[in-house]
Amino acid sequence: MTAQTTAMEALQKELDRLNRAPGLSATEDRVDKIIEMLTSVKDQIVQSGMDTHVASMSITRIQNPIKSTFEKINDDLKGVTATQRKLGKTLDKHFPLKDLPSTHDAMADQESLINRAISMHLLREGQFSVASTFIEETGDAATLENVNAVGEGQDQVSASDNYDDEPMDEDRDDDDDDDEDDDDDDDDEDEYMSPLEGAATGLGFRQLQNLSSLQSHELEAKFSQMYTILQDIKSRNLLSAIEWARSNSGELEARGSNLEFELSRLQYVWLFKGPRVNGLPDNELNGTAGALLYAQQNFWRFGNRYIGEIQQLANAQIYARNLSESPYRHIFSTETAFADVASSFTREFCSLLGLSAESPLYVAVTAGALALPLLIKYQQATRAKGTEWTTTNELAFETPLPERMLYHSIFVCPVSKEQTTEQNPPMMIPCGHVLAKETLQRLLKGTRFKCPYCPAEGLEKDARRIMI
């Protein structure tokens, strides 16, 4: 059991205790009691006809009970505070407030860049309405900044007007239905000023650059389209995806992607399974015959590239009755097929936009959570020694990340233990070993060197720069 598990358990225990113990609500009952006592005394006096004797007796008599009720309230409160304090102690013990690195905030002046990253992240996640709200809210701030910077007393167009009235992209036509974002549609025609006009009146190109609204508007449209298609795939409708793949077949092929074929194949398989499985109407477009028809109409596109796979699909027709015993059964299992094709689609769609399939912001923050403890440990160590972490080009300590977060090849010269960079690139020498350029130069005796790994020798000019 790690330390953290015991910490969480201790915390949970205290929390349970807190929940079981009476809280402030218990005191309300006691206050009711006091009110009751006071009211009954008042009634007594009134009913007695304002009798002096009754008045003085009854009021004197309740002094002590009331006082003791108050004392009981106090005890209750003491109990509550004691339980709460215990929770605090547990927090102090197991979750002490560690000083997060605060001496040097690299992100301090980067608000607009961070905002842009967040907007794009929200768009990727399909959070279209939150994204619009955010873009508007941050757009206003950036506009205000620039207004002050420009310092001109002209009527400034507000950020939201600017992008509401933007000329429509062609892509917008594609995603008329599932558009979750309705902010853009309502607009205020009065203050329309096209971005170019705005630039002309001196609002400044910088303002337009800062307003990522132009970019985001387009991006939003694209992501919206992607989400529409993904929804379709989820509901087993591949047609929109196939259409997209066809209209982008040039780029997809250049990338070496098989997406269009993957989709068509899955469509064939899906039809093959017949109306009972795929829920489509039982007609000549469905079932094994329907699949065959589909193949005849569509597979010609693939020429000779997938001839092997297409043959398998055709041969499967023979096994239509006992597919599960055929050698092709694995092609026809669709449990994960739709999910797989969905993620292929997402990957290709994003790549065509020049974006990664996974949100960079998400990866960065997850990596940050892994690296942070090491940073703090390092800071504590250097603080103790008196040296501080200065902003050099390279971190002074290692921050290991899982394999899938290593996106680039890294070469560390075994001799100098340094990473290769553009200024100090990896060099391959004739024997096939690799060294950093600076290392190589240090090994040179005149124009000759000896490989540190093997007996081979070589001339400086025989070493060549390689790109990993």
Give the number of other CB atoms < 10 A from CB of residue 13: 13
| Smaller CB separation from another protein, 59 or 280 | 59
Stretch that binds another protein, among 151-159, 231-239, 311-319, 345-353 (CB under 8 A): 345-353
The CA-based angle 357-363-367, given to 5 degrees, is 155
- Does 433 help bind another protein (rule: CB under 8 A)? yes
C-beta of 205 vs 362, nearer to another protein: 362
Evaluate whether 138 touches 115 at the Cβ level (below 8 Å). Answer: yes
What are 111's two structure tokens? 């608000």
Is residue 412 classed as helix, strand or coil in its secondary structure? strand
- Cα-only R_g, the chain: 36
Site for another protein in 363-392 (CB under 8 A): 363-373, 375-376, 391-392
Q: Between 329 and 377, whose beta carbon lies closer to another protein?
A: 377
State which of residues 354, 386, 446, 455 lies at the interface with another protein (CB under 8 A).
354
Give one DSSP letter per residue of 16-36, joined into a string.
Answer: HHHHHS--THHHHHHHHHHHH
Q: Is 51 in the site for another protein (CB under 8 A)?
A: yes
Applying CB under 8 A, among 167, 176, 190, 254 the residue interacting with another protein is 254
The answer to whether residues 178 and 187 touch, using CB atoms and an 8 Å cutoff, is no
Instruction: Please give the DSSP secondary-structure letter assigned to residue 54.
Output: H
CB atoms within 10 A of CB 339: 12
| Interatomic CA distance for residues 219 and 363, integer angstroms | 20
In sequence order, which residues have a C-beta less than 8 Å from that of residue 66 and are 6 or more positions away?
34, 37, 38
Dihedral, 115, 118, 124, 129 alpha carbons, nearest 10: -80
* 217 is an interface residue for another protein by CB under 8 A: no
Minimum CB separation of residue 72 from another protein in Å reads: 11
Closest contact distance (angstroms) between CB of 258 and another protein is 8
Name which of 102 and 297 has its Cβ closer to another protein.
102
Cα separation, 36 vs 33, in Å, equals 5
- The answer to whether residue 459 forms part of the interface with another protein (CB under 8 A) is no
Binders of another protein among residues 10 to 49 (CB under 8 A) are 11-12, 15, 18-19, 23-25, 27-28, 31-32, 34-35, 38-39, 41-42, 45-46
The verdict on 93 binding another protein (CB under 8 A) reads no
* Identity of the residue, 76 or 174, whose beta carbon is nearer to another protein in the bound complex: 76
- Could you say which of 47, 56, 235, 333 contacts another protein (CB under 8 A)? 56
Closest alpha carbon to 251 in 353, 342, 352: 352
**What is the smallest separation between the CB atom of 284 and another protein, expressed in angstroms?**
35
CB of 30 to another protein, least distance (A): 10
Q: Which of residues 105-164 bind another protein (CB under 8 A)?
A: 105-108, 110-111, 113-114, 116-118, 120-122, 127, 129-130, 133-134, 137-138, 141
Q: Which stretch binds another protein (CB under 8 A): 81-89, 274-282, 318-326, 329-337?
A: 81-89
